Amino acid sequence: MYNSVQGKRQQDSMSWAVVPRLLPYLWGFRYRVGLALGCLILAKLANVTVPVSLKYIIDDLDQSQQVHMVAVPLALVLAYGALRFSSVFFGELRDALFGRVAERALSLMGLEVFNHLHRLDLEYHLTRKTGGLSRDIDRGTSAVSFLMRALVFSVIPILVEVAMVIGVFVWHFDLLFVWITLAAVATYIFFSVIVTEWRTEYVRTANQKDSLANTRAIDSLLNYETVKYFNNEAFEADSYSRHLQEREQAKISSHLSLAALNSGQALIIAITITIMMLVASNQVTLGLMTLGDLAMINGLMIQVFIPLNALGFVYREMKRSLADVEAMFSILDIQPRVQDKANADDLPLNADGVRFHNVSFSYHGDRPILRNVSFVVSPGKKLAIVGSSGAGKSTIARLLFRFYDVTDGSITIGDVDIREVTQHSLRSHIGVVPQDTVLFNDTILENLRYGETGASQQAIESACDHAMLGGFIAALPNGYQTKVGERGLKVSGGEKQRIAIARTLLKKPRLFIFDEATSSLDTHTEKAINESLQTIAKNHTTLVIAHRLSTIIHCDEILVLDKGEVVEQGTHTQLMAQSGRYFSMWQMQHRSNT
């Protein structure tokens, strides 16, 4: 599913269907946008009338010279200056009015993308490439900003200004000037469209290579320790260099095609203005036009081609921006596989006890992970799940937390199918200490408080004491304000796990899931924490996924998984007496410890 969505970015033609999707972000500010458009029209009107006022100034001065009476047409000069100022003033006022609209719309869109990414299921986040995704979002938001300004303040106003100039030509001059102008505008637009379509593939390729290079760099930095473990700095540099070279070649092709486009547009402008000035100069010598008319034609042609040149730029950038916005909107088009039902209720606060009934599951259809798994965890009891790597232990925790939905069977909490309740209420009910703990690049205090954002200092300290973390924090120079670094790299694996345990205790969930929560701890600390957790988890339904069997001998029941199936079930004493799979695992661990 996700590959098909990403494949849309590779299409040869870019869709203009994204444009209507921008309008809702502007609709809430429609009155401010209307005022901004009004200011823009006034600015364009002032722009077009500047050459007209210049014509009358020149004609007035020319007539005064013919009768040897040179007088400055003061009113016309003042009007000329006022028009010049008005065009700038109304343009600045337009920008001031629309600036807030654009920034607010971008904030709303950024928040929507952020919330949507958090709504997507775990499968998407396990397969996404962080660097490329980040670059797609950055380019997409920048492109949205450009498209909003271009659509509202460039395309329509440019066409209006060209229409105004042609109207002046029709009213004041020979139709020959109108036909030359129309032919030039049509040629310019046709050339811009054709060449822009040709160079679109270069732009898209450059963006793709840029995303690949960025993804490679971020992946390498995120795996900094692995790179060091295998002395592969040179390998990473060579790989990144290859990506940069591909990006460089794509960018060069993009720049060369842009140079060809700009040169062609400049040639069309130069030829058109030359023809217009030759015709106008000839009519001046024949007495059919005045010097003021010649100056006005020159000014109006500049007024035509300045916005027309901007139109070429706008079209080029709109094609590029459409590709970037399409890539970002394709993220919003991705639908999570795990969704709340339309009439989903909250999980009752008093719901307790877990039941798996004939649960089967596979991440991909051709590789089943769980096969008809059934078990019950009675309210307030503790169930341990053990088995070899790949047996499906962590998958059970993911299904209970509803990162995925079961393929067959059902999971209930307090006799309520978890697919019938909201994900938010379900996950509020459950506290998870994962096997691999990742911390935010912030202080220890803020990482702890993430379990309960409004927790008091007393509650935080109590949770730390239960997680055997208080002494460690007290020994730090900055205490709770110590920074843990990106992904918690500045603290050890055991310290990260203790922070994770304390953070989960602050959440005060009704149901605990410990997914090998003490695997990175030394034996002494593990024993102390387990004793503390037994006290905390007393009267709480608890699911423990464990590798070291010595930590779960006091559980009310132990489930043994093998290749996704329940092969044994019972207490530690009962399983040892059976001399089966659990007994073999116990003997093996006991021998390795001795």
User: Do the beta carbons of residue 331 and residue 143 sit within 8 Å?
Assistant: no
pLDDT, tens digit, 9 for 90 and up, residues 562-594 = 888 999 999 999 999 998 899 998 888 777 665
pLDDT, tens digit, 9 for 90 and up, residues 240-280 = 888 888 888 888 887 888 888 888 888 888 888 888 888 88
| Integer angstrom CA distances of residue 313 from 139, 158, 239, 307 | 18, 12, 35, 10
Residue 17 DSSP SS3: coil
| Integer angstrom CA distances of residue 242 from 4, 206, 210, 439 | 27, 14, 12, 32
Q: Give the up-direction half-sphere exposure of residue 365: CA atoms within 13 A in the CB hemisphere.
A: 0
d(CA 172, CA 176): 12
d(CA 506, CA 509): 8
Contacts (Cβ under 8 Å, ≥6 apart) of 499:
437, 439, 444, 447, 448, 467, 469, 484, 488, 491
Q: What is the pLDDT of residue 518?
A: 64
d(CA 423, CA 420): 9
d(CA 167, CA 95): 27
d(CA 348, CA 370): 28
> What is the torsional sign of CA 295, 301, 307, 310?
negative
The size of the chain, in residues, is 594
In this structure, the dihedral spanned by the alpha carbons of residues 205, 208, 209 and 213, taken in order and rounded to 10 degrees, is 170
CATH 3.40.50.300 domain position(s) in the chain: 354-593
Which carries the bigger pLDDT value, residue 56 or residue 103? 103
d(CA 551, CA 313): 68
Confidence band for 528, pLDDT divided at 50, 70 and 90? low
Q: Give the up-direction half-sphere exposure of residue 421: CA atoms within 13 A in the CB hemisphere.
A: 23
Here the tokens at position 154 are: 């460039």
d(CA 268, CA 274): 10
Confidence band for 169, pLDDT divided at 50, 70 and 90? confident
Confidence band for 487, pLDDT divided at 50, 70 and 90? low
Q: Is 16-333 a domain of CATH 3.30.565.10? A: no
d(CA 408, CA 370): 10
**Whose CA is closest to 478, among 441, 444, 448?**
444
d(CA 284, CA 276): 12
User: Do the beta carbons of residue 206 and residue 197 sit within 8 Å?
Assistant: no
pLDDT, tens digit, 9 for 90 and up, residues 178-207 = 888 888 888 888 888 788 778 777 777 887
User: Do the beta carbons of residue 530 and residue 537 sit within 8 Å?
Assistant: no
Which carries the bigger pLDDT value, residue 489 or residue 202? 202
**Whose CA is closest to 387, among 375, 378, 402, 403?**
375
Q: What is the pLDDT of residue 14?
A: 46
- Torsion angles phi and psi, residue 514, rounded to 5: -110, 105
CATH 1.20.1560.10 domain position(s) in the chain: 16-333
**Whose CA is closest to 147, among 323, 6, 28, 334?**
323
| Integer angstrom CA distances of residue 122 from 5, 82, 447 | 17, 62, 22
d(CA 473, CA 117): 34
Q: What is the pLDDT of residue 62?
A: 58
d(CA 563, CA 287): 99
The amino acid at 453: T
| Residue 152 per-residue DSSP state | I
Mean pLDDT score of the chain: 79
How many of the other CB atoms lie within 10 Å of CB of 437?
21
| Integer angstrom CA distances of residue 594 from 40, 553, 583 | 83, 19, 17
pLDDT, tens digit, 9 for 90 and up, residues 306-352 = 777 666 667 767 777 887 787 788 888 888 888 888 888 999 988 88
Question: In terms of C-beta density within 10 A (0-12 exposed, 13-18 middle, 19 or more buried), how is residue 573 classed?
Answer: exposed
Residue with tokens 């720049």: 255
pLDDT, tens digit, 9 for 90 and up, residues 460-475 = 988 888 888 888 888 8
pLDDT, tens digit, 9 for 90 and up, residues 424-457 = 899 889 988 887 777 888 888 988 888 888 888 9
Q: What is the DSSP string of 303-318?
A: HHHHHHHHHHHHHHHH
- Per-residue H/E/C for 176-242: HHHHHHHHHHHHHHHHHHHHHHHHHHHHHHHHHHHHHHHHHHHHHHHCHHHHHHCCCHHHHHHHHHH
Bridge-based pairing state of the strands 382-387 and 565-570: unpaired
* Bridge partner list, 566: 561
> Rg (Cα) of the chain, in Å, rounded?
35
d(CA 358, CA 370): 9
pLDDT, tens digit, 9 for 90 and up, residues 205-245 = 887 888 788 888 888 887 887 787 777 888 888 888 888 88
Q: What is the pLDDT of residue 399?
A: 93
Quick one: average pLDDT of 5-17? 47
Quick one: average pLDDT of 529-543? 75
| Residue 414 per-residue DSSP state | T
Q: What is the pLDDT of residue 419?
A: 93
Sheet of 367-377, strands arranged across:
367-377, 354-364, 408-413, 416-417
The amino acid at 89: F
d(CA 501, CA 509): 12
d(CA 325, CA 249): 24
d(CA 410, CA 360): 9
Give the architecture-level CATH label for domain 354-593. Answer: 3-Layer(aba) Sandwich (3.40)
pLDDT, tens digit, 9 for 90 and up, residues 502-527 = 888 888 888 988 887 666 566 666 67
**Whose CA is closest to 290, among 81, 72, 66, 76?**
66
Beta strands, E only, 430-540: 430-433, 511-515
